Amino acid sequence: MPFIIAIDGPAASGKGTIARALASHFGFHHLDTGLLYRATGAKGGDPIVSARDLTPDDLQRPDLRSAAAGQAASRVAAIPEVREALREFQLRFASQEPGAVLDGRDIGTVICPDAQVKLYVIASDEVRAARRAAELGSDVADMLNELQQRDRRDSQRAAAPLRPATDAIVIDTTDLAIEQAIATAIAAVQSARELRPR
């Protein structure tokens, strides 16, 4: 049975960086599930049809990290039929041996509620805005406004709202160096692996 690590949290909290580091450290597969929603939104047209027809090649688009793609992702992610269409993609990915790391907004609560490790990564709004603005070369104040709008939309949607699983380990990266955040996550996963029945 594969070992599944579910990582959730708002945009620019550091969850993607932590997810990639964990996958590399433990030799697991990694899926940034936000790319599924970004690719669906970026394809345009009927989002439900786009989600159903999504292929791995669609995840290679160079524009998926843009702020516009992030906003489009947040909008289509509120559509229950889109979420259901992409759920099967994520479940197939999570079933790969020896294990998988999935990061997103509803992995620990909806997609993989039985994951062996659930992390919820957060940071202050101001720190997240500064990180994302530096990444995209945009204005910090504009980015703060965009992130707060997106957080509200993601947290208040009826379908799979952004929230920590009840048994998630919360990692606040506001004042942590990335090496510290990664070390904290590795320790949590290592502890769970040692407790797992052989």
Task: For 90-143, write each residue's pLDDT tens digit.
Answer: 999 999 999 999 999 999 999 999 999 999 999 999 999 999 999 889 999 999
Which residues are documented as binding site for ATP?
9-17
Q: Which are the contacts of 92, defined by CB distance < 8 A and separation ≥ 6? A: none
Sequence-distant (6+) residues with CB within 8 A of 40 are 47, 50, 51, 54, 73, 76, 82, 86
pLDDT digits over 153-184, tens only?
Answer: 889 888 888 999 999 999 999 999 999 999 99
**Which residue numbers belong to the known binding site?**
9-17
Separation CA 138–CA 129 (nearest Å)? 10
pTM of the entire predicted model:
0.89
The three-state secondary structure class of 131 is: helix
The domain limits of the chain are 3-195
- Under CATH, domain 3-195 is a member of which superfamily? P-loop containing nucleotide triphosphate hydrolases (3.40.50.300)
